[in-house]
A and B are shown apart, each in its own frame.
Chain A
Amino acid sequence: MEAQFLSSPFSGYVYPNETVISWTVLIAVYPYLTGLVAGSFTISSLYQVFGFRQLRPVAHFALLVSLCCMIIVPLPLLLHLGHPERAFNAMITPHMTSAFAIFSFAALFYVILLMVETWFVFRPYIVHQAQQTKGVLSWIYRGATLGSYDLSDNAMRYDSKWVFWLAIIGIPGAHGLHGYVGFVFGSLKAREWWSSDLMPAIFLFSAIISGTALVIVLYVLSCKLRRAPIDLACMKVMAYSLWGFMMFTLLLEGVEFASLVYRGRQGYDVIMQFVEGPLLVPFFILQFGVGSVLPLAVITFFIWRGANDRALVVGMTASAALVLLAVLMMRYNVVIGGQEISKTGKGLLAYYPPIFGREGLLAAGTLLILPLVLLSILVRFLPPWHEREQMT
């Protein structure tokens, strides 16, 4: 059988086995998606738990965004496995010293939590639809009620208590899930680029900004498509959140990079070669410049000017889109970049992702679009729109 692999050119000295990059773009997509889950859940929780009333127009929508992303999260991993049919081995005989072993359990728990919370949030609508609609749709909604049709004040109070507690459990759940992804990389002592105590925190904060940015972009897009007015107060709170979390993220990334340079351990000169060479465009220009500093400046400008008009919407949406790009680049630079620096500390590899194939750019792109496709279907069954709630 002809083996299928892609070898990477190198400079300096690298171990012979390193020339095939083990973790491809799919492994960059995986933390990106879990980050979107954690981030959008944060927006939802800011409303459900912390009482940010201005976020009401997006609270339920953010929950659905989180759910749709979470359903797709296992796919890049499964697609990457050499033997996906054996994936359940990690659940049947989890090897508890492995950071990967607990993922399946944590992911399963979190998917269930998201589904239960979604059910409680949308229960009044589901009951309403089960009684109003006819035909197949009626059957679907009647199934979705799980036999519970009670919408009395007492029942609703009970529901909101559940939503509150599920959201509270969900906060450490979502953030723990993503912090753990950072740990998967940060705990690997074999790679200087990954081996950092700050990695889980950096992953977490970048997750929150990516999720917030996604909710901003999708909310504006959904309003445009539905020709509904955009809630500016809500946009402003999201802008403040994005700004605050971005400051944290940039600070953490800066501190991590500074300590890597300042420590100057063995192999540091090769890392600097890498940072000043191949990383110049993806890291300094795309991730740092265009994706972080520029949107931060734009959002700062809006906050300073107290903008409250169309300019705020356009500026915020554009900034959020750039932040989404920056976080994607961050995942790529961590996952792929880490492998481009040889474990020898004496050489560099150059990875050129293929377009086609199981682990190509096309597959990765499809996985990034899938949650949106899922979301566009789900919002038809469970409309999260604020105006609909006001009507019912």
Chain B
Amino acid sequence: MEDEDKLEKQQRERREFLSWLGGALACGAAVIAGDAGLQQAVAAGERTAAAQVPPKPAIPGYDWTKHRWAFGVDATKCIGCLRCVEACKKENTVPADAHHFRTWVERYVTLEGEETARIDSQADPVNIAAAGSESEYRFADRYRDAKVAKAFFVPKLCNHCTEPACVQVCPTGATYKTVDGVVLIDHTYCIGCRYCVQACPYGARFFNEEMNVSDKCTWCYHRITKGLLPACVEVCPVGARIFGDRNDAQSAISRFIHDNRVQVLRPETGNAPNVFYVGIDEDVS
């Protein structure tokens, strides 16, 4: 009898424990599923809310709802002097080597009798040798004795896309799109998984080993929010880089887009870039 009572008690406890365990598991699953749904709802809500009442950054005298920044590149003007690359490295303390660039310049040279362009950038070993070090930038005169049919330079940088693949894949939301159209990275929140580096079709992102986070061009957000131009635009001696506010119809960038037949890089990705090019051909991607 006593044994039966004991057994009954054990079985009851066991049933209680199992029902608790089942409940806990079900709750766990529900929380996970619910959390996913909730997060999506919150994210959707945030997007809607952001369009209406955006949280303003703490920058004195700057209202990010009033601007829509964009960048232009006139490849017909670029002379490949690479002052932009140097200015960017200094302004943004980008690691001074040949593997980390927030902006770079590509050279496209088609020789007579050839159909495709030969491409290099300042990071090419031949150009580094000509510059003397990885922290100095120069294009070597490597086509001096060749018969060049066509040649041009193309400055490259982050496209601050309207539909950025890098923002889409960031697992924490450390990289985000600002209301004024700039893609930024919160270096204090980035976990350094490098998924965004993989996702960018333009190779604009890199991993900064000094900070152990992803890094890229910010259009010098610290400057443009104070009414200054990005460093690369500021130093360009020929006006090949154009920057401005598309909300202002008379800004340099609005006029550039209006007056020229512009194109963006890799439109097929659906990223909708905000760097507009003039004077490039199909070799450029």
Contact = CB atoms under 8 A, between A and B. Distances in A.
B217 to A, nearest CB: 11
Contact of A109 (B10, B28, B285): B28
Interface string B205-218: 11111111110000
B172 A89 contact: yes
Interface in B116-157: 119-123, 156
Contacts of B123: 16, 19
B99 interface: yes
B240 interface: no
B101 A17 contact: yes
B48 to A, nearest CB: 15
B64 interface: no
B84 to A, nearest CB: 14
B56 to A, nearest CB: 20
Contacts of B200: 190
Interface of A is mostly: loop
A16 B157 CA distance: 11
B152 to A, nearest CB: 15
A17 B99 contact: yes
Given A16-B101, A188-B199, A190-B198, A98 B191 contact: no
Interface stretch (A54-62, A99-107, A326-334): A99-107
Contact of B28 (A1, A101, A102, A112): A112
Interface stretch (A150-158, A229-237, A311-319): A150-158
Contacts of B171: 89-90, 94-95, 98, 100-101, 103
Interface in B179-198: 189-195, 197-198
A291 B169 CA distance: 33
A87 interface: yes
B62 interface: no
A97 B17 CA distance: 37
B285 A116 contact: no
A13 B108 CA distance: 11
Contacts of B205: 17
Interface string B100-126: 110010100000000000011111000
A5 B208 CA distance: 9
A89 B39 contact: no
Interface stretch (B29-37, B246-254, B255-263, B272-280): B29-37
Interface of B (DSSP majority class):
mixed
A20 B165 contact: no
Given A86-B191, A346-B119, A22 B197 contact: yes
Given A15-B203, A96-B43, A190-B198, A82 B174 contact: no
Interface string A143-181: 000111110101100100010000000000000000000
A128 interface: no
Contacts of B168: 97-98
Contact of B25 (A82, A97, A102, A112): A112
A19 B98 contact: yes
Contact of B199 (A3, A81, A190): A190
Contacts of A81: 191-193
A188 B189 contact: no
Given A81-B191, A82-B213, A16 B14 contact: no
Nearest to B122: A16
B76 interface: no
B172 A95 contact: yes
Contacts of B25: 112-113, 116
A54 B93 CA distance: 64
Interface string B38-51: 01100100000000
B127 to A, nearest CB: 11
B268 to A, nearest CB: 9
B11 interface: yes
A23 interface: yes
Given A100-B171, A343-B203, A23 B11 contact: no
B10 A150 contact: yes
A98 B211 CA distance: 23
A34 B123 CA distance: 38
B204 A17 contact: yes
A17 B206 contact: yes
Given A16-B101, A89-B174, A152-B11, A3 B191 contact: no
Given A15-B203, A98-B168, A98-B171, A344 B285 contact: yes
Contact of B99 (A7, A84, A86, A190): A7
A-B interface, 7 closest residue pairs, ranked by CB to CB distance from nearest: A82-B192, A15-B203, A82-B212, A16-B123, A100-B171, A13-B119, A3-B209
10 contacts: A16-B99, A16-B104, A17-B204, A20-B100, A22-B198, A80-B193, A84-B191, A100-B195, A116-B25, A266-B285
